Amino acid sequence: MLTQRTPQSPQRLAVLGSVWLSCVGQLPLWRALKHLPELSDGQAPVFIGSAMVLVAALFTLAFCMLAWPRVIRWALSLVLLGTAWSTQTTDGLDMPAMTQFIVLAGGPLAWLWSRPVLRQKDTWAQLVHNLGVAMAAAGVAAAVLILSVADFSWMWLQHAALLELLSPIHLWRLLGSIQTP
């Protein structure tokens, strides 16, 4: 028996996609941070947790610009596929490439495209919802940065190479290397 799929708002899809991308999509980065000697005294879970919240808030902030019914699924699909591709190039996970690709992109894409997207009656209402979620994400990102500025600045200055493990960086470089005639 087929069940009716509940329509999801574009903002909800943006937040859920951001949480998935920050937690699962950044696994190579979280694993690398866990093994740093500076975080061996039990600070790793707190630092990694705050970094996950920060990355999720930043992803949400970016996706709120694209949280429109006809755009959000395509934007999330592109980033999910880019994240799955870029984590295969970093050797951060100990699983076969196809399994890794299915876990990182296949499952979320199947869920994403099986749900209808809720449409607002008015464009202004849609814009207000998008701005509200964006403001909340910006507030969360600012709060995490204010509370952890010393930890983040010290860690990223000492281990700047770890920023290369952020999955969209490989995708951005690939897109930036494409030259138009």
Q: Report if pTM > 0.85.
A: no
Relative orientation angle of helices 123-158 and 10-23, to the nearest 10 degrees: 10
Cβ-contact 36, 151 below 8 angstroms = no
Model confidence pLDDT, tens digit, residues 22-54: 998 888 888 888 888 887 787 788 888 999 999
For the record, the structure tokens of 35 come out as 């093994």
Q: Where are the beta strands (DSSP E) in the chain?
A: none
pLDDT of residue 35: 83
Closest CA to 63 of 72, 54, 55, 74: 72
Distance (Å, whole) CA 9 – CA 17: 12
Distance (Å, whole) CA 97 – CA 107: 15
* Residue 156 CB-half CA count within 13 A: 15
**pLDDT averaged over every residue in the chain:** 83
pLDDT band at 7 (very low <50, low <70, confident <90, very high): confident
Angle (nearest 5°) at CA 60 between 59 and 63: 85
pLDDT band at 173 (very low <50, low <70, confident <90, very high): low
For 129, residues 6+ apart whose C-beta sits below 8 A from its C-beta are: 9, 11, 67, 120
pLDDT of residue 172: 58
